[in-house]
Amino acid sequence: MSPQSQPPQFRSRNRSKALQERAERFFPGGVNSPVRAFRAVGGAPPFVERAEGAYVIDADGNRYIDYVGSWGPMILGHAFPAVVEAIERAARGSASFGASTAAEADLAERIQACYPAIEKMRFVSSGTEATMSAIRLARAATGRKIIVKFEGCYHGHSDGLLVKAGSGVATFGIPGSAGVPEEIAGLTLALPYNDLAAVEAAFAKHKGEIAAVILEPVVGNAGCIPPAEGYHAGLRAITRREGALLIVDEVMTGFRVALGGAVQLYGLEPDLVTLGKIIGGGLPVGVFGGRREWMDMLAPLGPVYQAGTLSGNPLAMAAGLATVAHLQEGASEVYPRLEATARAVAEGVAAEATKAGVPLTLNRVGSMWTWFFTPGPVRNYEEATKSDTAAFGKFHRAMLDRGVWLPPSQFEAAFLGAAHGQAEVEATVAAAREALAEIGG
């Protein structure tokens, strides 16, 4: 890369490399979540020191336009002042109590205003906890054992949901996970996404045995894959007819694709909803909720046990309140701006790929998208796996060297936030022009 094409103040990543080597002494692969290792794209991962607005800054002082956004929650941008101030205020009162606070109901009230389908809810500390708990509740509510999920959809790393999961499982080509007993894996049916006939066949084969269908309403963990027209309505009709619950996992799409998430965007009628990421303003949090009759089965009212010392953590509640309040009060401005900016950057890069003769399929819903390095189309996990992951790896490295940070996997969605603007769009498209020319050449 010539000095002229380097981002401003670009330095080597020697300190990040040294930090990675140090981390490998303590953590498997030197990381605490697998895709951070960059093994799918090559090279050593930069170590982040801080972030502001649309940018992250690594340990060597390099500044990158960020399209990871902590995997989605930084919809307002990094270190958004109102969120930082809320966390600071809460921290002065202590980081944790293990007791109830008014902030829990304050945040719940705002969530419910955006998600009327959530009549009651419970806070947890992660998306994995939320989906795991929702499934336990669905099994108790129906008296059935089998769960239907969809290939390439990731619902956290609990045992029964790692069957043909997306995200890191797809990135590393792992069919499931060692350590998951066959007896547990056998209770999960993994079906092709966007295929209602497969769902009908599963219910016919397992009559009266399926407790719930859980889905990402927009797949984000096999890359961004939108639902086919009528797909959600078909799932709702089938589950209602067969007496199974429909669990909509909005850990990624919640408050992202619309103020009321995919439930609002697609007019969904879920029995249970799971949320995470954004509702904590970037702090560890999750929530599951839905119809009152199901939620009242949870202890202490009912027989379904679920607990967590850090559930409703005061710092996460404060950050979530500040984030959701800003999204609610500024929805008429925030969401149109997110849509316009995401369209400009996603379509701008796709146009450069066409010019460079690089086969690429763009899938986008609102401010989440994926550039699949395949002629496409990409409507399910099987089609996503036809992508040229080697080409994506080259693209990722070339973009990183030009100051653009993308998710380090072909099978992860990219995100932007309200802090991204025209300057970031232009810089990204310009970087992509050079990166794609290298690949096309």
Predicted TM-score of the model (pTM):
0.92
Backbone torsions φ then ψ of 418, nearest 5 degrees: -65, -15
> pLDDT tens digit string along 324-382?
999 999 999 999 999 999 999 999 999 999 999 999 999 999 999 999 999 989 999 99
Question: In the structure, what pLDDT confidence band is assigned to residue 5 with cuts at 50, 70 and 90?
Answer: very low
Question: In the structure, what pLDDT confidence band is assigned to residue 2 with cuts at 50, 70 and 90?
Answer: very low
Q: How far apart are CA 436 and CA 392, in angstroms?
A: 10
Among residues 115, 149, 266, 277, the one annotated as catalytic is 277
> pLDDT tens digit string along 140-198?
999 999 999 999 898 987 777 766 544 444 433 344 667 777 778 889 999 999 999 99
Give the pLDDT of residue 441.
64
Q: Is 154 considered catalytic here?
A: yes
Is 161 a member of any domain?
Answer: yes
Question: What value does the mean pLDDT take over residues 408-420?
Answer: 97
> pLDDT tens digit string along 258-304?
999 999 999 999 999 999 989 999 999 999 999 999 999 999 999 99
Question: What value does the mean pLDDT take over residues 247-264?
Answer: 97
Share of the chain above pLDDT 70, in %: 93
Q: Domain boundary residue among 329, 349, 370? A: 329
Domain that includes residue 397, residue range: 3-66+331-440
Same domain, 20 and 144: no
Give the pLDDT of residue 161.
76
Same domain, 393 and 312: no
Give the pLDDT of residue 342.
98
The dihedral through the CA atoms of 32, 386, 390, 432 has a sign that is negative
Question: In the structure, what pLDDT confidence band is assigned to residue 37 with cuts at 50, 70 and 90?
Answer: confident
Is 97 a member of any domain?
Answer: yes
- Split into its structural domains, the chain has a count of 2
Same domain, 32 and 121: no
Contacts of 183 by beta carbon, 8 Å cutoff, 6+ apart: none
Which CATH number covers residue 286?
A: 3.40.640.10
Q: b vs e for 387-417, b when ≥16 Cβ sit within 10 Å of the residue's Cβ?
A: bbbebbbbbbbbbbbbbbbbbbbbbbbbbbb
Give the pLDDT of residue 374.
97
Q: Is 249 considered catalytic here?
A: yes
Q: Find out whether 64 and 400 touch, Cβ atoms under 8 Å.
A: yes
Give the pLDDT of residue 6.
44
Q: Domain boundary residue among 296, 329, 362? A: 329
Q: b vs e for 227-245, b when ≥16 Cβ sit within 10 Å of the residue's Cβ?
A: beeebbebbbebbeebebb
Q: How far apart are CA 122 and CA 141, in angstroms?
A: 16
Residue 21: exposure state from Cβ atoms within 10 A (0-12, 13-18, ≥19): exposed
Give the pLDDT of residue 4.
39
> pLDDT tens digit string along 306-317?
999 999 999 999
Is 384 a member of any domain?
Answer: yes
Question: What value does the mean pLDDT take over residues 380-392?
Answer: 96
Same domain, 88 and 230: yes
Give the pLDDT of residue 75.
98
Same domain, 43 and 100: no
Share of the chain above pLDDT 90, in %: 85
- pLDDT of 404 > 90? The answer is yes
Amino acid at the residue 36: R
Same domain, 311 and 172: yes
Give the pLDDT of residue 436.
97
The dihedral through the CA atoms of 26, 29, 35, 39 has a sign that is positive
Same domain, 233 and 317: yes
> pLDDT tens digit string along 68-92?
999 999 999 999 999 999 999 999 9
Q: Which is higher by pLDDT, 183 or 202? A: 202
Same domain, 341 and 198: no
Question: In the structure, what pLDDT confidence band is assigned to residue 8 with cuts at 50, 70 and 90?
Answer: very low
Same domain, 207 and 302: yes
> What does pLDDT average to over the chain?
92
Is 72 a member of any domain?
Answer: no
Is 76 a member of any domain?
Answer: no
Is 365 a member of any domain?
Answer: yes
Is 73 a member of any domain?
Answer: no
Same domain, 286 and 171: yes
Among residues 58, 60, 66, 249, the one annotated as catalytic is 249
Question: What value does the mean pLDDT take over residues 117-124?
Answer: 98
Q: Domain boundary residue among 304, 329, 354? A: 329
Among residues 154, 193, 266, 335, the one annotated as catalytic is 154
Same domain, 163 and 274: yes
End-to-end CA distance of the chain: 15
Which CATH number covers residue 413?
A: 3.90.1150.10
